[in-house]
Structure 1
Amino acid sequence: MTSVALESFACGMAAPARFSSVLGSDILASNGLGVAVALFTLCNVSCKSSTTAAASCIFAAMINWDDAKVVLAIARGGTFAAAARGLAMDETTVARRLARLERALEVEVFQAYDGRRIPTSRGAGLIAQAERLEAEALRLEHLAGDSLEEAVGCVRIAATEMIARHILAPRIRALQAAHPKVTLRFLTGHENVSFARWETDLAVRLARPERGDLLVRKLADIRFAVFQASADPKARGPAASRQWLTYQEDLAHLPEARFVAGKLDGAEPLLRSNDLDALTRAVACGAGVACLPTFVAELASRGGADGLSIVPEEKDLNLSREAWLLMRPDQREVQSVRAVADWIIDAFREVQAGLAGQT
């Protein structure tokens, strides 16, 4: 495995992989004196400013970590059902835990509105405090694991479904063989998770971040092309005469979506979907043409789908996106996070030619 050297941040390890600095929910249970001291310290700091902070201090003093996990899960999931799924418990238990906590604190943390649980003004302050406690607990968890001679613990990776499914998931066995005590949690989706709230340990993004106190490393260039079904009888005609398939409007800012929008010239595409595999499969079945990553189209053909081919008149399309690995600076010495960062770098190196459309 390749060791990770962090540009501008000395870590005492020689390696070719380079990070640079850019400025700009899984909840782990943790107990013990270290967390208790951390909670007390956070209380002393936060209680000096306002009534809300004082309420947060009371919250920290009275709540146990299991209750804090319930509060955060409801806040992030928006419903008891979502919180229950994240916590691996039933909805009744979640509701009972919250009711017990609200009685003990004499504070209404959430209000029911349109089927969702919305934080009250006082509840929002308590949730913010719980997030700080969670961050400290997670930091201590990582420090405890880092005191061992081998990488240990769960590492969360925020990435798109394309990256998680086609690049990382097929290579998990290599990580398991090298670091058997490291586990993973993929956080997939197009929405950016928050490093500031400790919602993830690492992230792979298809653009270099412009702000944020993060360590970043470029992983690869991902080439895009316009594909059609090789067996499509319409393939001999011009692409303009065929139906276009593209992303939903919320992803209209993506370079590949902007390219297709220019081709549509105001017309409505046959299909909109934020599921890349759905778009790829629809193209393979002859539904139309789409701007897809070249390596995903190639994998679809290998997987037994009807063959895909690049639309001839679009073969000179020069469209690519950069994949970047993001890490918090204070995570650079955590063995488990560093080990997973190395693994991600190796995974992208293995598929680099395919990502660039060179296979």
Structure 2
Amino acid sequence: MYPAAMNWDDLRIIAAVRDEGTYAGASARLRIDETTVGRRLARIERALGLRLFEAADGVRKPTRQCDVVLAHIQAMAAHAEEIGRIGESLPGPVGRLRVASTNAIAEEVLAPRTGELLRANPGLTLQFLTSSDNVKFSRWEADLAIRLRKPDKGDFAISKLGEVRLYFFEPAATSAADAVTCAYPDELGAIPEMQFLRAKRLRARCVTDNVRIIHKIIQSHQAVGVLPEHSCADLLIDRRLRATLLPKRRDVWLLVQSHLKRDAATRVTIDWLRACFQDVARSG
């Protein structure tokens, strides 16, 4: 069993030093700092309890123990190459992508259409990261992210994914002033939903960023609130509710890690995301 400090990147350094004969050569080949090469090799030697290279005439030559390690590295490299070929037998693009979005969008817009995408692209795997909070996209916690607010800046590609219609619901039997008002937190004060509620001078009595909670309370016919079109299909046909289409729509933005913009699997996924929101718009 390898020590906890061992990883494939470290093993690649051993092979690079063997092939190039110097830390500088390995550094250039792997595109990492020469000092890093020496430090990581020293760490491996400490972990294994043996010496990997000896200096002779300015060249790093592998020790007998290193030759044994290198034999295993060569076998691992061959296995890694074989794993990489697995996708060649699958039609379409191959890749695993992490898609971040709110719970409501993942459940109501993406999930119903995910099966069709994955069946058509057997080499593609999607991982949904759902939260009411923004996943830290700048830290590469996700590959693509769907945002309901346009980010000010960041090292990623951003484009408008679509627009979402918004509906104001109120009990048909009473006025909005007599019902409980559901609203979003103050930090979301700039969104169209909150602007509409302020214009109507409705005081928030229930505050949440969870669309499903607002939906359930409105469904009780005791409250008013604003919901996106993908979250209210059943409410629109409820005769005990009045629905008003807001004049302003909610923009939806797509963020993509810059290094994935030309990746085939990413392009297929982006096209699918756009189609998902187009379907929502057509069904409204």
| TM band (smaller chain) | 0.5 to 0.7
Alignment of 1:223-242 (within 5 A): 223-229=165-171, 235-242=172-179
**Pairing 1:292–2:227 present:** yes
Secondary structure in 1 matching 2:154: coil
Superposition CA RMSD, Å: 3.7
What's the counterpart of residue 17 of structure 1?
Answer: none
Deviation at residue 185 of structure 1 after TM alignment = 1.1
- Kindly tell me the number of residue pairs found equivalent between the two proteins: 227
- Label 1:284 to 1:209 Cα distance change in 2 as closer, same or farther (>3 A): same
Match of 2:33 among 38, 44, 51: 44
Task: State the TM-score, normalizing by the size of structure 1.
Answer: 0.53
1:207 is matched with 149
How far 1:330 moved relative to its partner?
A: 1.7
| Deviation, structure 1 residue 169 | 0.5
Shift of 1:317: 3.4
Q: Secondary structure at the match of 2:99?
A: strand
Most deviating of 284-293 and 242-251: 242-251
User: Is 2:162–2:274's contact at 8 Å kept on the other side of the alignment?
Assistant: no
1:247 to 152, 169, 184: 184
SS at match of 2:161: strand
Tell me how far apart the structure 2 counterparts of residues 161 and 218 of structure 1 sit (CA, whole Å): 20
For residues 296-335 of structure 1, the aligned pairs below 5 Å read 296-299=231-234, 309-311=241-243, 315=244, 317-335=246-264
Distance 1:292 1:169, change over 3 A: same
Q: Greater Rg, structure 1 or structure 2?
A: 2
**Partner SS, residue 149 of structure 2:** coil
| Equivalent in the alignment of 1:346 | 275
Amino acid at match of 1:199: E
1:222 aligns with 2:164: yes
- CA-to-aligned-CA distance 1:115-136 (integer Å, 9 cap, x gap): xxxxxxxxxxxxxxxxxxxxxx
Contact 2:148/2:251 (CA < 8 Å) preserved in 1?
Answer: yes
| Structure 1 residue 331, shift from structure 2 partner | 0.5
Report the CA distance between 1:260 and its aligned residue: 2.5
Equivalence for 2:214: 279
Structure 2 spans left out of the alignment, 5+ residues: 1-6, 17-25, 48-79
Report how far residue 301 of structure 1 moved.
5.7
Contact 1:301 1:308 (C-alpha < 8 Å) held by counterparts: no
Distance change >3 Å, CA 278–CA 195, structure 1 → 2:
closer
Q: CA deviation at 1:225?
A: 2.1
Shift of residue 228, structure 1, vs aligned partner: 2.4
TM-score by length of 2: 0.65
The 1:285/1:179 distance shift into structure 2, 3 A limit, reads same
Q: Secondary structure at the match of 1:351?
A: helix
Change (3 A) 1:164 1:43: same
Any idea what the Cα deviations from partners look like across 1:39-86, whole Å, max 9, x if unmatched?
9657627x6xxxxxx8xx9579748xxxxxxxxxxxxxxxxxxxxxxx
Letter matched to residue 273 of structure 2 = I
Paired residue for 1:196, among 132, 138, 147? 138
Cα deviation, residue 293, structure 1: 1.2
Q: C-alpha distance in 1, partners of 2:41/2:220?
A: 56
- Which residue of structure 1 aligns with residue 111 of structure 2? 169
> Equivalents in 2 of 1:58, 1:195: separation in Å?
31
Structure 2 match to 1:118? none
* 3-state SS of 1:319 partner: coil
- Letter in structure 2 aligned against 1:175: L
CA distance in 2, matches of 1:207, 1:260: 18
In structure 2, the CA distance between the partners of 1:297 and 1:271, relative to structure 1 (3 Å rule), is: same
Counterpart amino acid of residue 147 in structure 2: R
Amino acid at match of 1:289: V
Query: What are structure 1's unaligned runs of at least 5 residues?
Result: 1-29, 48-53, 64-100, 102-139, 230-234
Separation in 2 of the partners of 1:33 and 1:222?
48
In the TM superposition, residue 198 of structure 1 has moved relative to its aligned partner by 1.5
